[in-house]
Chain A
Amino acid sequence: MMFRKISLTLLTLVLGVSCAYGKKKAPKYEQAHPLTPEQSALVEKAIGQEKVLIKAIQERTPLVETYIQDTRPDVKLYQIPVDDQYTLSRVDFGKGFFDKTYEPRDKSKKGFFKGSFAAITGLSKSLGLDKRFTYNPTGFMQMMFLDPSGFDSQHYEFSYVRKEFLGAVRTWVFDVHPKVNGMGRFYGRIWVEDQDGNVVRFNGTYTGPSSADDSRYYFHFDSWRMNVQPGIWLPVAIYVEESNRGDSDKPIGLKAQTHFWGYSLKLPTRDSENVSMKIEDAEDKSDDSQDVSPLQASRAWLTQAENNVIDRLEEAGLVAPLTPNGFETQVLDQIVVNLAVPNNLALATPVHCRVLLTTTVEATTVGNTILLSKGLIDSLPRSGAGSEASIASVISVELAHIAMGHHIDTRYAFNDRLLFPDEATFKRIEMNHSDIDDATAAKKGMEYLQASMYKDKLPEAGLFWEQLADRGKQLRALNTPMLGDSLLKPDGTPWMSDLSSQAPKINWDDLTQIPASPLGSWLKTDPWDDKVHMLNAKLYAPLNARDKMPLEVTPIYFKLQRYETAAAAAPPPAPVAGAAQPPADQPATAPPAQATPPAAGDPAASSPTQGVSNPPPTNPQ
């Protein structure tokens, strides 16, 4: 009887609590001005287009990359990074909007105790006991939506602000706030393009929990979309910033960028190099031999493995498809020539460079292909005397790997070894070199540099390595390679320590000294076909130490264009790079004045060139 009474008391209590939570109150916002019929019509259009967009995204599985830097206030530099986190996922829109994370390479050794320890760690992680504050990549990914299931006039109030151009696209700006209570509802500002009613940008946050004790956090963000195909606007990038996360007494903030690409991933095409041709009366005695020497067979086998790996990485959206006369050939390949020629490197097949699409700072080689990550290229100094020499210093190490025969495992010549889900790519493909190989390659790379045209600019190039090692202590995720080699040794010193030791000390007050750039300074990725293009943005000299922001996350700003406009305005392909000497302050391979557009007639490459830039850090002079 006693227990019955207790049970009934508890029941009443729970029902009361449930009802209290179930009761919906209208949130308190300022009264919205009533919309004109024209404005209402555009809002209704935007609501309809949002549903179309969600459907369009559900048909695709783009890659989503989030890089977060925790920051703390600094008297001199305003904010400095103190920690970081990197995630790469493939969005799975099957039953909901979730992400499948690309599992990082497993470096730990197996063993009973280590296994048990891992199990305990995993358990405490799943219980949320291991770490005080945990970022959720799915939460960052979902910032691509205003509200995936309830964006309509029943749940949201709209208030007209003004008309505004974002690049070449005219938009109507509205303030939006939810009419009903509930977590995860958008409130902020939206930009609606005036033709089809697509939301092209939204800026604000989601409603958080009512209790300060709640353990869930929503951050402020700025989400951008692009017109990637006729009539299709898709999410491309999100910038997140909080000057104080509010989870502790310490003023820890965060800055993060989320990028989307791979909306139109398809199998790479590779034309056979040996096309069978029948020529009348031809007498070729030497090359038509049906016999292959053991050395030839070994090389062919290695080439097959290398081609398989590159194809697989391209298919997984991790390597950018080659753009004809693009950044890779015009800038990077030219630097390879500048290093190879004076060093008399007679390689059997030419060396080419490709771009790994990750933000992590890493590089590696696959056969005669040098892979440099987008994050690495993006953080290299874009201006200053050592700009090109810095790129050369990275390439020289990779060139040394190739010349010294540090090739990948030939097991990838068997195609079955590459049949695995994309998310397992980092685990299943090993392209990193051993520490011994890295050490010998760095030594040899230094020799190449000293014999090259860059020998007089090596102190400036060394600054990049010095800066990388300096920030590497805080930015461990950025310097943790996903596929290739880190530029830092396990102890945090740079592999090219001979080079960094020649560099002057980093001086934040010397505004002519630019050791490294903010992330996103060199390249932009086409979200539709994954090709990389050089950023066509004006360069501004820093006005103070705070403008330097080496290896830091910065806000995102796009100058939007409509697909048709962009395709029609596409300039002719840039000329093939010559071996001419560049001006002193420009890369040898002077980048084209306009970013290389997709080749006309190539359906895969027919996406528009969108103007994108990181806004100048301070007032341009």
Chain B
Amino acid sequence: MWPPPGLGNVFTMKKSAVLLFCCILCALATKTHAQVVASATRSPLSLSVGGMGSLFQPDYAGTGVPAQAPNRLYGVGTYVDLRIRHWVQLEAEGRWLRFNQYENIYEDNYLIGPRVPIHETRRYKPYAKALFGYGKMNFQYNYAYGHFADIALGGGVDVPLTRKITLRAINFEYQLWPNWLNGTLKPYGGDVGISYKIF
């Protein structure tokens, strides 16, 4: 029997990866074609640092299993956007959801990963991103805390206000904590922020 049991997922993954790679190439091709070469280029490298306010559903109500919490966690965070090329961008973020706690339960996120611009205009810059890292959870009544792998899929819209300052009008993230204690924790929420372009 081919593929052998257990390897099926790997092959499916490989096919998806190849397809994904081909699609990225196609996307790049549609973007880069120009009738004549540009007369000048600016270094596309840019670095922006920002701060944000967050509102998240922690997906844990202190029962030992993932479940909708009665409260929403509020928090603050910081993010860094590194743009190397138009299609090569990285985002790193740290988020501390420490306010409006229910039984002292809170979550922190430390994530980094690629981000892709989606049909940018001069006024609006939508994007999608996939971040990886870890989340820290403090359990009820402070009896324990733990660090867990964290994957965040999300997107948002940036609105440039000036050449240096950009408003993060909305940023939504759907997180997956696959190695959480009893099943996969799925916190989700949004942020609003503002960033300053250092260079």
Are A217 and B42 closer than 8 Å at their CB atoms? yes
Identify which of B38, B163, B176, B178 gathers the most chain A CB atoms within 10 Å of its CB. Answer: B38
In chain B, positions 7-61 with a C-beta closer than 8 Å to chain A are 9, 12-13, 16-17, 19-20, 23-24, 26-27, 30-31, 33-46
Complex Cα gap A135–B41 (Å): 6
Cβ–Cβ < 8 Å partners of B9 in chain A: 1, 4
A1-26 near B? 1/0 per residue, CB < 8 Å:
11110111111011111101110000
Number of A residues with CB within 8 Å of any CB on chain B: 59
| Distance in Å: Cβ of B8 to nearest Cβ of chain A | 10
B153 interface residue per 8 A CB criterion: yes
| Distance in Å: Cβ of B44 to nearest Cβ of chain A | 4
Are B36 and A145 closer than 8 Å at their CB atoms? yes
| Distance in Å: Cβ of A2 to nearest Cβ of chain B | 6
Are A217 and B39 closer than 8 Å at their CB atoms? yes
Cβ–Cβ < 8 Å partners of A140 in chain B: 39
- Interface residue from A1, A183, A214, A249 paired with B35 (Cβ < 8 Å): A183
Partner-contacting stretch, out of B66-74, B98-106, B119-127, B136-144:
B119-127
Cβ–Cβ < 8 Å partners of A14 in chain B: 20, 23-24, 27, 116
Cβ–Cβ < 8 Å partners of B41 in chain A: 128, 133-134, 136, 215-217
Are A21 and B119 closer than 8 Å at their CB atoms? yes
Cβ–Cβ < 8 Å partners of B122 in chain A: 210-212
Known A-B contacts A6-B130, A211-B120; the reply to A128 vs B35 at CB < 8 A is no
Cβ–Cβ < 8 Å partners of B112 in chain A: none
Known A-B contacts A20-B119, A142-B37, A211-B121; the reply to A7 vs B20 at CB < 8 A is yes
A142-179 near B? 1/0 per residue, CB < 8 Å:
11010111100000000000000000000000000000
A75 interface residue per 8 A CB criterion: no
Question: How would you classify the secondary structure of chain B's contact residues: helix, strand, loop or mixed?
Answer: mixed
Complex Cα gap A11–B17 (Å): 9
Are A185 and B35 closer than 8 Å at their CB atoms? yes
Complex Cα gap A16–B44 (Å): 24
Are B13 and A215 closer than 8 Å at their CB atoms? no
Cβ–Cβ < 8 Å partners of B117 in chain A: 17, 211
Which residue on B lies nearest to A211, using beta carbons? B120
Cβ–Cβ < 8 Å partners of A184 in chain B: 34-38
Question: How would you classify the secondary structure of chain A's contact residues: helix, strand, loop or mixed?
Answer: mixed
Complex Cα gap A319–B180 (Å): 77
Complex Cα gap A245–B42 (Å): 11
Number of B residues with CB within 8 Å of any CB on chain A: 45
Complex Cα gap A1–B33 (Å): 37
A301 interface residue per 8 A CB criterion: no
A132 interface residue per 8 A CB criterion: yes
A558 interface residue per 8 A CB criterion: no
Cβ–Cβ < 8 Å partners of A22 in chain B: 30
Complex Cα gap A504–B43 (Å): 44
Which residue on A lies nearest to B166, using beta carbons? A213
Complex Cα gap A4–B37 (Å): 39
Are A138 and B37 closer than 8 Å at their CB atoms? yes
A182 interface residue per 8 A CB criterion: yes
- Interface residue from B26, B43, B83 paired with A18 (Cβ < 8 Å): B26
Complex Cα gap A186–B86 (Å): 24
B194 interface residue per 8 A CB criterion: no
Cβ–Cβ < 8 Å partners of B121 in chain A: 210-211
Known A-B contacts A4-B9, A9-B153, A213-B125; the reply to A132 vs B35 at CB < 8 A is no
A131 interface residue per 8 A CB criterion: yes
Complex Cα gap A219–B83 (Å): 24
Which residue on A lies nearest to B46, using beta carbons? A213
Known A-B contacts A132-B43, A249-B163; the reply to A15 vs B37 at CB < 8 A is no
Complex Cα gap A538–B153 (Å): 70
In chain A, positions 540-592 with a C-beta closer than 8 Å to chain B are none
Known A-B contacts A2-B176, A142-B36, A218-B38; the reply to A13 vs B116 at CB < 8 A is yes
A279 interface residue per 8 A CB criterion: no
Which residue on B lies nearest to A151, using beta carbons? B35
Complex Cα gap A248–B26 (Å): 32
Cβ–Cβ < 8 Å partners of B83 in chain A: 213
Complex Cα gap A183–B86 (Å): 15
A448 interface residue per 8 A CB criterion: no
Complex Cα gap A454–B95 (Å): 79
Are B37 and A10 closer than 8 Å at their CB atoms? no
Are A148 and B35 closer than 8 Å at their CB atoms? yes
B189 interface residue per 8 A CB criterion: no
Complex Cα gap A18–B12 (Å): 23
Are A213 and B13 closer than 8 Å at their CB atoms? no
B133 interface residue per 8 A CB criterion: no
A206 interface residue per 8 A CB criterion: yes
Known A-B contacts A2-B178, A7-B13, A14-B23; the reply to A213 vs B43 at CB < 8 A is no
Complex Cα gap A22–B30 (Å): 6
A139 interface residue per 8 A CB criterion: yes
| Distance in Å: Cβ of A617 to nearest Cβ of chain B | 25
Cβ–Cβ < 8 Å partners of A129 in chain B: 43, 45
| Distance in Å: Cβ of B115 to nearest Cβ of chain A | 11
B165 interface residue per 8 A CB criterion: no
A361 interface residue per 8 A CB criterion: no
Are A6 and B153 closer than 8 Å at their CB atoms? yes
| Distance in Å: Cβ of B132 to nearest Cβ of chain A | 10
A437 interface residue per 8 A CB criterion: no
Are A7 and B16 closer than 8 Å at their CB atoms? yes
Complex Cα gap A588–B37 (Å): 47
Cβ–Cβ < 8 Å partners of A194 in chain B: none
A92 interface residue per 8 A CB criterion: no
Cβ–Cβ < 8 Å partners of B92 in chain A: none
A247 interface residue per 8 A CB criterion: yes
25 contacts between A and B (CB under 8 A): A2-B151, A4-B13, A6-B130, A6-B153, A7-B13, A7-B17, A10-B130, A11-B16, A13-B128, A14-B24, A17-B119, A18-B30, A21-B30, A21-B31, A133-B43, A143-B36, A147-B35, A184-B35, A210-B120, A210-B122, A211-B125, A217-B39, A217-B42, A219-B39, A247-B40
Residues of B within 8 A of A (CB): 9, 12-13, 16-17, 19-20, 23-24, 26-27, 30-31, 33-46, 83, 86, 116-122, 125, 128, 130, 151, 153, 160, 163, 176, 178
What 5 pairs between A and B have smallest CB-CB spacing?
Answer: A139-B39, A184-B34, A216-B38, A184-B35, A183-B34
